[in-house]
Structure 1
Amino acid sequence: MKDKVEELKKEILEYTAHTQEDLENFRQKFISRKGVITDLMKGMKDIAPEIRKDVGILFNDVKNTAQERFQELIDKIDEQSNGSEQNSEIDFSLPPIPDTLGSEHPLNTVKSRIIEIFERIGFNLSEGPEVEDDWHNFTALNFPPNHPAREMQDTFFIEKDPDIALRTHTSSVQVRIMENQKPPIRTLSPGKVYRNEAISARAHCMFHQVEGLYIDKNVSFADLKQTLLHFVREFFGKDTKIRLRPSYFPFTEPSAEVDISCNICGGKGCNICKYTGYVEIGGCGMVDPNVLKSAGIDPEEYTGFAFGMGIERMAMLKYQINDLRLFTENDIRFLKQFSGIS
């Protein structure tokens, strides 16, 4: 009996399989309940008791050997099969494709640079919801009930609730900060905003803004101007000049439009700056006392300034891009131009 078991073990180890049919034959012969190992084990009752234990150990060994060999054959056939499939998909006559790294989107590059500049002078980051209520988006920011921004043609309202809309500016984040944090406050709020506008080379229904807010005792308009001057010289270059033109925003008083000397013509005048030597980058002003009151801040004790600018606008000026739609069309030819830019 011992000799038969040893011969069977040798046969199992020498068995080779090249197809699924060979595997099935192996299973039927050695592993199944009707296989040769099972038949041999039926003769255990005729073995002398004094050697039955030793023969039982041999049977267990050959049974385990059969299971291990079967798995080895399966793995070998699978490996051969995968190799042939891979080889069939490869055309070695084709030229190699070089490994290339993707590039950061220009809007992310510009946003990161803006954040970096303001963080160095003490501004921290704040974020808020893109779906906003009327209080934070309009009322707390001193928008009167009849303001055009509250109309459907300017704002995306949520149909089920007329008091809920996609935020039209990140100033709503500043309101939330003022409600939950005591002065001094120095924060920067970047993010997506939405306005019901026709998409064109100069306008889009979704774009990115970054707004800054500084509230403390004795904050003045001079502080605002110096902060913006520092920023534009860091972002566009040390020779950049700044110009503030009187304007109107519901949440600031006084308010101003922020212009910088044209970085295309150096302030000499070109079609980009409409031959004025300056281009607009955003708006700013001193926080209106009504806004401070709405957020629970005493305007008799604290003052502050706020500013905002479009990230797309900054990217267009920095990289001399003339069509706003390029930022959202995912044209790989456009995006590849920003590889290695920081």
Structure 2
Amino acid sequence: MTEKPKFGPIHYSNAPRYTGIRTYMKLPHTTETDGVDMAVVGLPFDTAASYRSGARFGPSSIREISMLLRPSNAFHKINPFDHCSVIDYGDLPLIPGHIHESYDIMGEHYAKLAKNKIIPIGLGGDHSITLGELRGLAEVYGPLSLVHFDAHGDTWDNYWGKKYTHGTPFRRATEEEIINPNTSIQIGLRGTVYDPNDMDEAKDIGFDVLTTDDVKTMSAQSLSERIQNRVKDTPVFLTFDIDCFDPAYAPGTGTPEPGGLTSYEGINFVRHLPDVHYVGFDLVEVLPALDHAEITSQLGANMVYEFISLIARQKKQNSI
């Protein structure tokens, strides 16, 4: 008999969904690691943003609206919490304006989670946070493959002469050899750029790059196969910037770019992602002060749920 997962959401029949302490989907808030498969981790840092600040409040907004989510996934025909023990780890005590100290905090906690075979799901925060997550995970797993959904490549060398911003994390991660660009892929790039050849920069580093124009011509299955062929059996970190979506569907973000994915397209692409060796996820750049009717936070909360469902799907298949 399969052992019941240790941690999962409080049953919604016990009290109205809007009551109680705001954790993601009413998961128990704990830093206990024994018997845990996944941990939702708040990463409220936004002082590396190049334009609009406010994504530090993304984790709390995503948690707030996640009360709307129900536990079972009709697409995959599973209740992911029947197969996985999941907790809300709370927010890490990141320090605004002090990115290197914040990276150290993230690295320490993420290495601890990885050593205990726990898959972290980060709630950003601007996209600079991903470098801290990658450092901690690479300490345990070695160089990672990156699956990166975003309107922007985030591989610029610097902003205003500064090497650590939300537009530079994957250039730094490549230089530090904590990701392997030759087994990594960027999906959804679009918009105006500083130089006509900017989008070739990531290709020159080694990334496989799919623009929004490319992705709009692909089926979910063909994108899944492209990712599978790229990452193969390597440890994978999936990072999803909410601005990959068109601002009509996700207005609450710092650097919106028209012409992006619809909410259906993004969710459908993630649902069809291949069964690869995921070691971490994050969802970044939700900026609630610019949101309307919480639609950006709601979309972010749903994406996190789909990440959880991917791992639950794997666990269910592995138990058969």
TM band (smaller chain): under 0.3
Compare CA radii of gyration and give the structure with the larger one: 1
TM-score with structure 2 setting the length: 0.26
Hey, which of these two has a bigger chunk of strand by percent? Answer: 1
TM-score with structure 1 setting the length: 0.25
Hey, which of these two has a bigger chunk of helix by percent? Answer: 1
Larger RCO: 1 or 2 (CA < 8 Å, sep 6+): 2
